[in-house]
Structure 1
């Protein structure tokens, strides 16, 4: 085990591991998830998962959506606001959702992030700019069902694991149907877990194929490697739209924890250890180490 801190470079240089299983999210800046892989690239040490460019791009929600839009992959209409002056170009339909541009684990996404008019939007942005010290993504709210898709592998061998659905009907009535901070960390606890995930999702074959196709295309255009988890939500027409891309997905080992990637792996018949090794072996093959 090597901690992802400022001593990591010298430890990697000293130990020279054959390959590193990277789960380091970093601590500072929009490039934080890329810092350990960048060290390893410099030292020419192989590692699992995506490279620094993909990790940094995907942590920036606006940059991710710009690339998706270029490749005509469905994603909710959006605007990036660094100051209130950016609302001069506001052209979105209410309701909207606001999110910090560079956070994960639902940080900064609350019930109050669901906004239905311009005055409320301005008020919430002023408050959030001060709290989070970063730009905010403003997205049109997608009213449909929400899914998350785990993928393992590379190129033509990339495997889509069973799709997970988020069941918002399990949330209290006073919560908006989004996987907010309240839903993830306050309402859904280990002591009182919600049945908020279904896996495999109960969907027809046509929708399953649409979701898989969009997930695979997203995985490819963002150059994800070895594994990733892609969040998808249906719009008012039932079309799957990409919400976020997580090339460094959470993998809590305890089945009692609502961790989506291991949940999808278990639904595919993989134990936790088999899931980890499947990711590892994908990286080993990619580096031609066998």
Structure 2
């Protein structure tokens, strides 16, 4: 049965001649009001329009179990929660490879913490190394590196206090967000800034809420795309490009993939027709987007998989917005999770997608 379903890569899996012992690392959303969804979108107070996005990056039990089930089709899977006890569990269990899906909780290093443990213990794992993980989480460092290599990205500054924005040379409108968050955290409708007063107010709020520097960049007014990439070296594959269509958002909502767009208005109960995959674009733009995504993937030394967000500037040229070396993979198609959506458009089931990531890592670590 598996040979038929997974004919694209089952041979590679069985070259191992044994089942691997795979550890799955994860961070689970804490339950609030017996609902993961509530934990993601609850207002900070009864009359608040600012949402509690604390655990937006963590995963639901549904996602964790879906990844586990996909891996169990071929391998023996153990679960290791990404907390302070993880190191000793890795040391005791000594898995053949770790499917790393852990965001962790604290600091700009958090997405690199599990890979760093595994590097120290010399245990293979999926995904990028600690340096790439930490670099990509820091949006400013990412843009600095890409700018050095001539990859287009919006002009920006970082700010740790109000004094840092006194003499900036950016042109309004601007866009502001925390320097080291993901999954839409800190990106709201009021992140769009049209004047100095708005910038001061939003910066102060952002600094107080997220306790980290903020990145302020010139707003890119064009179309938005996201590109899922799978594999390494000559086997690196760009999955069908996704365009995000903001016309389906309620009137008055900013045309960006904000926290509101991602978690409030586009829900499983009321999904919006917000994505087109494959994107309906001319071949020249498609090649530009693929080219800049692959160049970014290589420059930042991403491994096995990543999702790269791109937006067009006023001249229609693709600019890198963010790089996600640990992409979200919600299993239910109605959740509009981008990496699985691109994989389905490429003809891959959810299980195939997960196992292709594992195989890419196993090849890289010479387990195959």
TM range (shorter): over 0.9
TM-score (normalizing by structure 2) = 0.78
| Rg (Cα) greater in structure | 2
The alpha carbon displacement at 1:212 in A equals 0.2
The alpha carbon displacement at 1:257 in A equals 1.0
Give the distance between the partners of 2:166 and 2:356, measured in 1 at CA: 48
Structure 2 counterpart of 1:16: 94
- Alignment deviations for residues 6-40 of structure 1 (CA, whole Å, 9 cap, x no partner): 11111111110000100000011110011111110
SS at match of 1:20: strand
Q: Is the 8 A contact 2:153 2:319 kept in 1?
A: yes
Give the distance between the partners of 1:126 and 1:264, measured in 2 at CA: 37
Q: Is the 8 A contact 2:177 2:206 kept in 1?
A: no
SS at match of 2:100: coil
2:327 is matched with which residue: 242, 246, 249? Answer: 249
Give the distance between the partners of 1:97 and 1:167, measured in 2 at CA: 19
Give the distance between the partners of 2:167 and 2:231, measured in 1 at CA: 40
- Asked if 1:139 corresponds to 2:213, the answer is no
Give the distance between the partners of 1:35 and 1:47, measured in 2 at CA: 13
The alpha carbon displacement at 1:87 in A equals 1.3
SS at match of 1:64: helix
SS at match of 1:288: coil
Residues 17-32 of structure 1 aligned to structure 2 (within 5 Å): 17-32=95-110
The alpha carbon displacement at 1:253 in A equals 1.0
Q: Is the 8 A contact 2:132 2:301 kept in 1?
A: yes
- Asked if 1:174 corresponds to 2:252, the answer is yes
1:184 is matched with which residue: 262, 269, 273? Answer: 262
Give the distance between the partners of 1:174 and 1:83, measured in 2 at CA: 29
Give the distance between the partners of 2:158 and 2:287, measured in 1 at CA: 31
Residues 203-242 of structure 1 aligned to structure 2 (within 5 Å): 203-242=281-320
Give the distance between the partners of 1:197 and 1:226, measured in 2 at CA: 24
1:127 is matched with which residue: 189, 198, 205? Answer: 205
Give the distance between the partners of 1:225 and 1:77, measured in 2 at CA: 27
2:340 is matched with which residue: 243, 252, 262? Answer: 262
TM-score (normalizing by structure 1) = 0.99
Q: 5+ residue gaps in structure 1? A: none
SS at match of 2:97: coil
Q: Aligned-residue CA RMSD in angstroms?
A: 0.7
SS at match of 1:27: coil
Give the distance between the partners of 2:294 and 2:195, measured in 1 at CA: 35
The alpha carbon displacement at 1:46 in A equals 0.1
- Alignment deviations for residues 153-192 of structure 1 (CA, whole Å, 9 cap, x no partner): 1112210000011001111111010111111111111110
Moved more, 220-229 or 114-123: 114-123
Aligned residues: 290
Give the distance between the partners of 1:169 and 1:206, measured in 2 at CA: 24
1:7 is matched with which residue: 80, 85, 103? Answer: 85
Give the distance between the partners of 1:181 and 1:152, measured in 2 at CA: 26
- Asked if 1:288 corresponds to 2:366, the answer is yes
Structure 2 counterpart of 1:160: 238
Greater RCO (Cα-Cα under 8 Å, separation 6 or more): 1
Moved more, 178-187 or 215-224: 178-187
Structure 2 counterpart of 1:49: 127
SS at match of 1:229: strand
Give the distance between the partners of 2:148 and 2:249, measured in 1 at CA: 35
The alpha carbon displacement at 1:132 in A equals 1.2
Give the distance between the partners of 2:263 and 2:334, measured in 1 at CA: 14
SS at match of 2:99: coil
Structure 2 counterpart of 1:109: 187
The alpha carbon displacement at 1:88 in A equals 3.2
